[in-house]
Each structure stands twice: as C-alpha cells, then as structure tokens.
Amino acid sequence: MQSASLRQLPPVRRIIIKVGSAVLAPGGAISPGAFRRLCTQIAELSRARTQVVVVSSGAVACGFRALGLDAPPRTIRLKQAAAAVGQQRLMARYASALERTGHSVAQVLLTAEDFEQRSRFLNARHTLETLLEHGIIPIINENDSVSFDEIKLGDNDRLSALTAAMLRADLLVMLSSAPGVLGSDARNAKVVPQFERVEDARKHVRTDKSSVGTGGMATKLDAASIVNRVGIPAIIAPGRLARAVPRLLAGEPIGTYFAAQAGGPDARRRWIGLAAKAKGGIVIDSGAVKAIRSRGASLLPSGIASVRGTFDQGEVVEVIDDAGKPLAKGLCAYSSGEIGLIKGKKASEIVKVLGYSHCDEVIHRDDLLLLEKEKA
C-alpha cells in the first residue's frame, strides 16, 4: 500500500472508461443526472484531444422493466431479451447527449470469441482504432442478446480490461458505485489511495455485487490485474462524483490507483496471454521446462510428454510443467493429433512421422508467453 502522493499517471492519450449499471441505472432505471454527469466528462476529455472509449453496462438494466419484470432477470433467455430491448435505449441516450456537444458515437458489441480468435481480435481492434482516428466515441458492451454461458466474458469489468489491452490504452478507469477500495477498518473505512499489487487489495474486498449489475469490486480487481500485467495502470473511482475522470487526470487523488507493471509483453504475446480460453494443453518434461523458463526457448517436440484435449493448428494452448502447473500459453503450430504422433521425437523426425513439416517448433518462442514471469 502506498500514499496517493506516489501516484504517477503516464501521459494519457487514450483512455478506457468503464461504467456499470449501478452507476448509470440504479434500481434498473436510467438516472438522468448520472448519465449527464458521465457524458459531460466524455465530451470534456474528447475536446482536450484525449481519445475516449466507453465500456458501458446498462442494457439489461434499461430493458427488463419493458418486459413487465420488477427485478433484473436471472435466466439467460430473459437476460437476452432485456438486453435486446435495453441496448437501443442505452445507445439513444449516449447519442442524444453527446451529439449536443458535437460528438458522434458508435455502438460496438463484442463477445468472448472476438478476443479468442486472432483474426476477429485484429478486426475489432482495427475497427475501434479507425473510429478513434475519425473522432468517433465508441460505446462498447458485451453482446448480451446473443451471448450465452459458454462464451460470455462474464462482466464488463473484464471486457474493459481486454479492450484496454487490445487498444494499447494509457489508462483504464472503472467508475463504481463505491468510491474506491475501502480499508478494513469497519468503523472508519477510508478509501485506500494506492496498492503496489492488486493481490494486496483483495483482503479488503467482499464478493458483493449490486442488484442490477453483474460484477462487483472483486471483478474490478481482476480487471486491474489484467491491464497491470500488460503495462497499463488502472483506477477504481466513484461514478457519482462530478468530473471524476478529468479531475483524476489532473492529479487529484480520487479513487484507488493500481500502477502498471514494467516491461509488458508485445502485442502478439499480449493477445496470447489475454485470450479468454486455452483450447487444450501440452505437458512438457523437466528439460523443456528449464529451457523455456531460463533461456526463453521455443517448445520442440522432443520436450513434449503428453497432450491434453483436442485443438487445431493455430489455436492457443496451455503449456504445463512436469509438476502439473501452468507454465506458459502459446500459439500452436500443430494440431493435438499431430503432436500426439511427434511428441518425444526430434525436430528432424517430423517429416518422417507425419509426411510433412509445418516448422521445427511446436510453439515458437515469439508465440509463447511465460506465465510465471508475469506473476513475478
């Protein structure tokens, strides 16, 4: 834990602002005051030539009452229906409020697959960067009307973190119904201005979430952890505070700050590390563990002990050490079936076994992200 005076924000050219249902639509009804407060800040930042991307919850909260419901739905079908009704209402609010300030908005709906598949990841990034280059403010939400449990990102805190990493943002700000992470003194809890590590903040946090939201403080810490690992700082700030984001950019110690880790991975490894799901696993022997961990070597077939699951060439897999612990994630040059045939063999034997060779490496070092290094 550190003092607020040690907070060192980088120059912020591109910012991701995440705002939850509990801020925009407490009780399930859009708060005109909260919405006006948020859009005023977005416009102010944009006028100052800061590129702004908004990750906004609120579709389900805006739509469930139109279905005749008195409380947010619990079933997937009703959530999807509420999101379909509420998303256009949410966007109409953004468009109307920001067009009055001379700013145009774009709706972007994403699912987990947009981050997991490299081609979709790049397409989404190019679209968002083109919008920003033309002065358009993207309003991003998860595509709740078509998402289901197996592919859902889970909450917009995580979505905001993945978006920040995708766009190489300078800062992630999560506007919350809470003023930040509160200290553990039950009688006189105050906002903790800064933590050296996200893990140090978890002991202060319960798993509660609002009645209209899907996240909570714990998911915000998960999001902070994601962006910190790739070199982006994060702030959890009070969503009901007037001009909260411009004020914290000006140096006011608002909310709780999480500093970025130095030396984040390059863009390709960043995607590999943040892909939502590994499609399978490769268990390697102690020699391969040592080569990857100490020398940053590629994974060759000779170091592979076994294969877990079924996956195709070009998919992200988990690399598991000889003790059964995840060591790395990587983009695989061979399918699980092919690896099952060449495991334990020398690279020079691949053609003899398969009749062809994509390359010598099962996972090239440039496509391999060491997880233990990220935790260190």
What would the pLDDT profile of 63-87 be if each residue is shown by its tens digit? Answer: 898 999 988 888 888 988 998 999 9
Q: Are residues 175 and 308 in the same domain?
A: no
Q: Tell whether 131 and 92 lie within a shared domain.
A: yes
Q: What is the CATH number of the domain that holds 9?
A: 3.40.1160.10
pLDDT at 90 > cutoff 60: yes
CA distances from 347 to 137, 164, 341 (A): 50, 38, 12
Domain with 297 in it? 278-375
> Number of folded domains in the chain?
2
Residue 284 shares a structural domain with residue 359: yes
For residues 96 and 152, the model is more confident at: 96
Domain contains 77: yes
Asked whether residue 259 falls in the same domain as residue 284, the answer is: no
Residues 242, 324 within the same domain: no
Residues 249 and 370 occupy one common structural domain: no
pLDDT per residue over 227-254, tens digit each? 998 889 999 999 999 999 999 999 999 9
| Start-to-end Cα distance in the chain | 18
Q: Is residue 347 part of a domain?
A: yes
Mean pLDDT, residues 202-209: 70
Has residue 273 been placed in a domain?
Answer: no
Amino acid at 126: H
Going by pLDDT thresholds of 50, 70 and 90, the confidence category of residue 7 is: confident
Q: How confident is the model at residue 374 (pLDDT cuts 50, 70, 90)?
A: very low
